Chains A and B, each alone.
Chain A
């Protein structure tokens, strides 16, 4: 049963530290999304890749966030430096098209 995997599942860090979240999309999927979920803002789209190229990252704070796909089996989301307001659950999703997305279990980030 193919699934999107995300690591780590939980991360606690201190303000100012770099955080790297990883996502392994389902093999063969050519679209990858990063979302952030918080109680206040709900689910927000941060970035969207197709065939490893970023198509839309307008939802991502550019000064501290970066998203990449070094290869077809790995997507990364980095925060440097991290701030307490970045505390959230970060979801990765992949699909053959934007209309069908399979979500990973999420990375729960707490920045102290």
Chain B
């Protein structure tokens, strides 16, 4: 079955530390891949997306993600987390007309 998995429900990191949020997908072919961020009470904001080409994708707010076909993964990274990065992060995949979101990872940033 087609699915998107974010294994970590909640992650806590210290401000200034590096961050990696995991995302795995299960599709028959490589879908379009996305990362969104949602602040409390807000809609989702697109951080970055991968369609094809360079497997390392740069996004807004200093985020990047790497597509690894062999692992069916699209992990989100940031070298130094800021307190304002505290939010919920969603991985999403799109294949044909099917758009699916992962369950989300809540990021807490410690001072």
Contact A103 B44 (CB under 8 A): yes
Contact A105 B100 (CB under 8 A): no
Contact B45 A103 (CB under 8 A): yes
Contact A43-B101, Cβ < 8 Å, known A98-B94, A99-B32, A99-B51: yes
Interface size on A, residues (CB 8 A): 19
Residues of B near A42 (CB, < 8 A) are 101-104
Partner of A4, one of B43, B46, B94, B104: B43
Q: Scoring B residues 16 to 54 as 1 if CB is less than 8 Å from chain A, else 0, what string do you get?
A: 000000000000000010001000011111100101000
Interface centre among A42, A56, A105, by most B CB within 10 Å? A42
Cβ-based interface call for B56 (8 A)? no
> In the complex the two chains form, what is the Cα distance from A28 to B46 in whole Å?
19
Considering the complex, give the chain A residue whose CB is closest to the CB of B99.
A45
Residues of B near A93 (CB, < 8 A) are 43-44
Q: Scoring A residues 44 to 84 as 1 if CB is less than 8 Å from chain B, else 0, what string do you get?
A: 01001000000110000000000000000000000000000
- Measured CB to CB, the residues of B under 8 A from A are 32, 36, 41-46, 49, 51, 90, 92, 94, 97-104
**6 closest Cβ contacts across the A-B interface?**
A103-B43, A43-B101, A103-B44, A56-B97, A42-B103, A45-B99
- Given contacts A42-B101, A42-B104, A99-B32, 13 further A-B pairs with CB under 8 A are A42-B102, A45-B98, A48-B99, A55-B97, A56-B97, A93-B44, A98-B97, A100-B46, A102-B46, A103-B36, A103-B43, A103-B45, A104-B43
Q: Mind listing 9 A-B residue pairs with CB under 8 Å?
A: A4-B43, A33-B99, A43-B44, A43-B92, A43-B104, A45-B100, A91-B44, A93-B44, A103-B44
